[in-house]
A and B are shown apart, each in its own frame.
Chain A
């Protein structure tokens, strides 16, 4: 679906966790075309104060009701402006933007890994996967029990496993600790969260692509052939896809403000090549110049 500029009406707004909000908007044009992993860029307030839109993942999108939801933390004036909206207020939304998660048609078991607000990035994939008859395990990590995403907001069919840093709920430790137990089960994994979490996850799954998941499923078809960097086919074959965050200007690929360094030595636009990337596309280790130097050799 090509992007559009639409006016969306706020239907519901609630603080689901301390400083974390879930807002529902009526935006049928977006609800029917969006895919999990994509995002919207939403205009805030008046231009004299806040000049940039704010990007939000589609948290859910329901083509039947025409509703979309976004989930965000209040981190500044822009996000606070959203919390003051009342039902009936309209916002100006640009979307859907970016490339979605790519699920291999043969994948039965999807492992979703979310750190804190990263749940907003993978939440919609659970709906899509269940709709397509797949099984979903969601591993969720937060600092403590009071920041754990309420299970009531998830479909019943999702197996929900929680880790907290302080052990106040679920596993005591990082969410990445839980991944090895599910790796053999999963055909594909999808993650969203803070950069250190994603970098740690990339180390956990490093080198396992050959014997795990879709790579195994796909041994016969297209084995040996290497797909173009960042192509949909390559992403489907990656065991892990990650949804990245970066400060944004335009969110349509025009300003080059939102890049992360790619392992090919080329900056990748989070808004255009991303926000979803195959884990092997992102240079997790090394400084910008180190990666460049390495890619040059």
Chain B
């Protein structure tokens, strides 16, 4: 494993693994943000950079103090710092170039590009998308030009951007994932990897990596071994209990979790009375999945210490605030981009306004407020982890 630093590094050197109990101090409050946000030696999922707003000694601790500059930056670890917590989700924003002048990509916290595989893939037969109540189904089938083409064609463009680009990686075997990660390692313009593990593992009879803790941990560990790139792993909502899976991924060395991918679903063409999608099965996204995604972030936040980036049905600031409240440090906007490509940038502005309105110097204090209070050794609270239909 190489140990080059290639992404903008935060000025604070962090320990690699932080014991869970060190996080017991949060959620942080505006009134006590001084000292608890970036106390040396402790790790919070969001780190405020010294010299900008919120650093100890630079701003008053009370709301009466003169307005301190706002800092919405998010430190994911391994030097990956987003300028703000609003990201765009894989598969909904292509390679960052398709929306052209309509969207100023440099104002987005980070871009997760379309799922990338070792070899080019043509994807599934059409129709591939259809609208559903409050959402949509997609079955793109991971159409992409393969990792080499992505590196050649897009990485040079990304290098010129201020926005971080995270390559979403998919595969059919551990070997696939490892090889894609190996090729991305050290490529200028690639700021991190997001593992899409909602893919069938051909070696295991097509069982998805994401639904099995040992497979999810296994592929994470294997990728971790070959790259120093910041590693985010994307959880699937199509599981009975996400917690052991999230834990296994954390233990395997992931820097962060992203949650969630789409929910499995189908649609029927009412006229033909046949499956509507060419692939029969599709992934449900959009506002319809938000309560499910919220629940999964809520559950996950109580069992892991690494940062969580929330995804699912975000269409307005309120959704972002809800995800922060259940423990996410950042959020990705997906399907809503199709209706409103300017939404991600507007959310950045609206979040900044909201923080100012609340007298905050960062969104840090908004994180985790809806989580049950932690007791004792940091074991997950019994409250709020059950799912009892």
List A residues at the B interface (Cβ < 8 Å): 2-5, 43, 47-53, 78, 92, 94, 246-261, 265-267, 287-289, 292
Contacts and interface: CB of A to CB of B under 8 A. Distances in A.
B287 A47 contact: yes
Contacts of A92: 340
A71 B194 CA distance: 42
Contacts of A258: 126, 128-129
A179 to B, nearest CB: 26
Contacts of B136: 51-52, 249
A5 B341 contact: yes
Contact of A249 (B101, B124, B125, B129): B129
A254 B98 contact: yes
B94 A246 contact: no
Most chain B beta carbons < 10 A, residue from A50, A261, A292: A50
Given A249-B136, A254-B94, A254-B98, A266 B122 contact: yes
B339 A259 contact: no
Contacts of B94: 250, 252-255
Most chain A beta carbons < 10 A, residue from B98, B99, B135, B338: B338
A76 to B, nearest CB: 8
A43 B340 CA distance: 8
8 contacts: A3-B100, A52-B339, A246-B127, A249-B92, A249-B335, A254-B98, A255-B91, A288-B278
B100 A259 contact: no
A116 to B, nearest CB: 15
Nearest to A257: B129
Given A5-B341, A255-B94, A266-B122, A249 B336 contact: no
A47 B93 contact: no
Most chain A beta carbons < 10 A, residue from B128, B143, B336: B128
A134 B126 CA distance: 37
B127 A267 contact: no
Contact of A48 (B130, B287, B340): B287
Given A3-B100, A247-B128, 12 more contacts: A2-B101, A3-B102, A43-B339, A47-B336, A47-B340, A49-B134, A51-B136, A51-B287, A52-B338, A247-B129, A255-B94, A256-B143
Contact of B122 (A51, A253, A292): A292
B131 A250 contact: no
A190 to B, nearest CB: 23
B190 interface: no
Contacts of B335: 51, 249
B101 to A, nearest CB: 6
Contacts of A249: 92, 129, 136, 138, 335, 338
Contacts of B131: 50-52, 78
Nearest to A41: B338
Contact of B134 (A51, A265, A287, A288): A51
Contacts of A288: 124-125, 278
A6 to B, nearest CB: 10
B342 interface: yes
B157 to A, nearest CB: 14
B84 interface: no
Contacts of A2: 100-101
Contacts of A250: 92, 94, 98, 337-338
A109 B288 CA distance: 51
Contact of B286 (A51, A246, A289): A51
B362 interface: no
B126 A255 contact: no
Contact of A259 (B128, B133, B341): B128
Contact of B99 (A247, A254, A260): A254
